[in-house]
Amino acid sequence: MRRRNFISLSLLFLGGSLLGHIATKRQLTTISAGLTEGFTHATENIRLDRLSHNLLLKMLNGQLSDDDRIQLTRELIVPNCHLYIPDNQGRHFGRPGFFRVTP
Amino acid sequence: MTGQDIHAGTLIIGNGFAGRTVAHVLQDECLIVERGEKFDIFEMRQRYLEMDQGINRNTRLRDIYKSRHDFNVPEDLGGDSSSEYILIDGGCSNHWGGLSFRLSDHAFKQSDDDFSWPFSLSQLRPYYRRAEQLMRLCADERDPEQRNPIALIEGAGKWHDALAGYFPAAYLGAQSHNLSLNDTSAHGAERQGRCAGAGECEICPLDAKTRARHIPSAAPIINSTMVDRLLFEGNRAVKVLCHTEHGPVSITFDKVVVAAHGVESLKLLVKSNLPPATPRDLLGHHYQDHAVAELVCILPGVSIPFFEASTHTQVVIPELSGVHADIEYTTIALMMPPHESAIAAALDLNKLNQWKLHDAIMETGSLLCLYVLLEAPPHWDLSMSYVNGKFSVDFSNYHRNKMRYDEIVTIIHSRLKALGAIPLQAIARKHYLHKVGTHHLVGMLGMGHGRRAVAGPDFRLKGTDNVFIAGSSLFPRCGSRNPTLTIVALALMLGEQLRGRAMGHSAGNP
């Protein structure tokens, strides 16, 4: 009886996992399709390597919310501030040249 | 060096900007006594760099100024104050200072005689012009105060262009630098004043900051000697009693200039056997300082040229400055990107959710962080006292009045909207609600003709024959401007008067 229950539960778990896997795969397929359609183009020249998977997934699904603002600042805005501050990576707090005039 | 073994014609207490500048005018006719050790910026910086980097930066900065002498401990101004001061050769401007305003017309145009300057702004202007050379100012050519700088700030045009659509009168605040570049190009001389720009001016790696020691003076200086009190015979001070690491010392003199920092000048006067005609009860009253509000706005369509200047300064915005309810305020913009919470608040989530990442990121380059310097005016009467060896500050009148600053913040937000900018009102930081102070300790020994004045128009402590005051404690009214340049200008005026050759005007003369 116990063995039968164990086998039944195991089959149920495996079935659930399989369904979950299929669902995730479908989602990823959808995301992947989205990426190919526009996201790659939209993020051209933008550093996303600091962006966490969680934020990336939210962004891909258009679900960023107010709770994500600080994390977005740290992981997306700051790493990309070179877009509006020339030579940003060449300057660090406490080193000469922090303030300068560029041609 | 023990006992009564030193005599000076003119004794100057304090080798900060005030005392040093008086000595500059008097040349070798005086002696400076300074409680602080000699200051070596490179040694300080090394000590700072060797500290545990995990410790808060401000704490590390404070620690490098700790004296080895037990008698060199600054007073704690209490939990209501964010101001502090240091006791080191060269004074507080070793750490603070740099942004070099003249005081405003409003500070000089007083209807209340109690806090009126004893001379006009135009009478002070020749001294300002000399002070600006002594402090080696670099300034924006658009500066409305008719400066007399050694150099022009490079990069100012980029800021003018960027802000023109919103703040056409904005200009870069004048800064003091001691650097001279050995540049042989056509603009070589004018390029003096370039800042290393480390953003750590207090311990500048190139010593680019003008310090009191850059004011030339041939006067001898005795360091590590703290004047405890003056000794009077009648109305005349005849001697100072000093602490040194080797024991007590006394110095006699013909006249004395007290320039020991506002708090310490107050203390040594309170400890002294002042003449009866000196208004002892007014010492320490009408202390002025600045409170701060930190605001953020978006300037749509503007790409702000962060860091783009040859000096570490701030942008003065006349459109957001003024006077309200007899409180002067000056708004300055930082030349660096705003803090994290400001950026976070300004993010356009719709654009990010629509994958318009480039647009959303570039918009954060339109954020400007504003500091509003708010005057704590003399008629609020914040007061300092030193009783039975205990120093304290009464801030009760500040807390009674500070809500007036809310009206000023509202005015600034309204002006921003009227100019087409977008104020981020939700993240305004009203520091003034909790504390007052930007290290500008001003007015405790005010000068003037008024009933509340402690020093006369001739800088002389009332009731005395030969005691003169120098420094920001003299200001009857400071307004919302940083005081260092005015300290130097006044010290030039005092020096001239002590030499008996004032510059052709009568105001302020004995």
pLDDT digits (tens, 9 = 90+) for B448-464: 998 999 999 999 999 99
The Cα–Cα gap between B496 and B133 comes to: 17
| B108-167 residue pLDDT tens | 986 667 899 999 999 999 999 999 999 988 899 999 998 998 888 888 999 999 999 999
| Site from B195, B363, B364, B366 to mutate, A interface, most A CB atoms within 10 angstroms | B364
pLDDT (tens digit, 0 to 9) for every residue of chain A, 103 residues total? 566 776 666 666 666 665 665 665 566 566 566 566 677 887 888 999 999 999 999 998 999 999 999 999 999 999 998 888 876 665 544 444 444 444 3
Q: How far apart are CA B295 and CA B110, in angstroms?
A: 29
Q: Which residues contact B251 (CB under 8 A, 6 or more apart)?
A: B4, B6, B7, B8, B11, B31, B33, B239, B240, B242
ipTM of this predicted complex?
Answer: 0.75
Closest CA to B441 of B68, B82, B47: B82
- What is the 3-state composition of chain B as percent helix, strand, coil, each rounded to the nearest 5? 30, 25, 45
How many Cβ atoms sit within 10 Å of the Cβ of residue B165? 14
Straight-line distance from the first to the last Cα atom of chain B, in angstroms, rounded to the nearest whole number: 36
Q: Is B347:A77 a contact under the CB 8 Å cutoff?
A: yes
CA angle B398/B399/B404 to nearest 5° reads: 80
Residues of A in contact with B310 (CB under 8 A): 99-101
Q: CA-to-CA distance for A2 and B120, rounded, in angstroms?
A: 101
Pairing type for strands B249-258 and B236-244 reads antiparallel
Contact criterion met (CB < 8 Å) for B354 and A64:
no
B66-125: pLDDT as tens digits: 888 989 999 999 989 999 998 989 998 888 778 899 999 999 986 667 899 999 999 999
Torsion of CA B474, B478, B483, B487, to 10 degrees: -30
Contact A67/B at CB under 8 A: no
The CA distance from B345 to B472, in Å, is: 39
Asked if B155 and B309 count as a contact pair (C-beta separation under 8 A), the reply is: yes
H helices within B311-470, ranges in order?
Answer: 340-346, 349-353, 357-363, 396-401, 404-418
Measured in angstroms, the CA of B48 and the nearest CA of chain A are apart by: 11
